[in-house]
Amino acid sequence: MPTYRGRLAPSPTGLLHLGHARTFWFAAERARAAGGTLLLRNDDLDAIRFRLDFVDAMIADLRWLGFIWEEPVVSQSQRRPRYRAALARLHAANLIYPCTRSRRDVIEAAGAPHEGGADDEPIYPPSFRPSATAPLPPLDETIAVNWRFRVPDGEALSVRDGKFGEQRAVVGRDFGDFLVWRKDDVPSYQLACVVDDAELGVTEVVRGADLIRSTFRQLLLFRALGWAVPDFFHCPLMNDDRGERLAKRHDALALRTLRERGVTPTEILAKFAAENA
Nearer to ligand GLU, 54 or 97 (CB): 54
Query: Counting beta carbons within 10 angstroms of the beta carbon of residue 183, is it exposed (0 to 12), middle (13 to 18) or buried (19 or more)?
Result: middle
Output the smallest distance, CB 113 to ligand GLU, in A.
20
Output the smallest distance, CB 189 to ligand GLU, in A.
7
Nearer to ligand GLU, 10 or 98 (CB): 10
Output the smallest distance, CB 84 to ligand GLU, in A.
20
Output the smallest distance, CB 174 to ligand GLU, in A.
18
Output the smallest distance, CB 144 to ligand GLU, in A.
25
Output the smallest distance, CB 15 to ligand GLU, in A.
12
Assess contact for 96 and 102: CB atoms under 8 A. no
d(CA 50, CA 13): 5
Nearer to ligand GLU, 159 or 211 (CB): 211
**Phi, psi values for residue 6, rounded to 5°:** -110, 180
Nearer to ligand GLU, 18 or 99 (CB): 18
Nearer to ligand GLU, 43 or 177 (CB): 43
* Binding site residues, ligand GLU, CB under 6 A: 9-11, 43, 193, 207, 211
Output the smallest distance, CB 211 to ligand GLU, in A.
6
Nearer to ligand GLU, 60 or 145 (CB): 60
d(CA 19, CA 240): 9
Nearer to ligand GLU, 150 or 207 (CB): 207
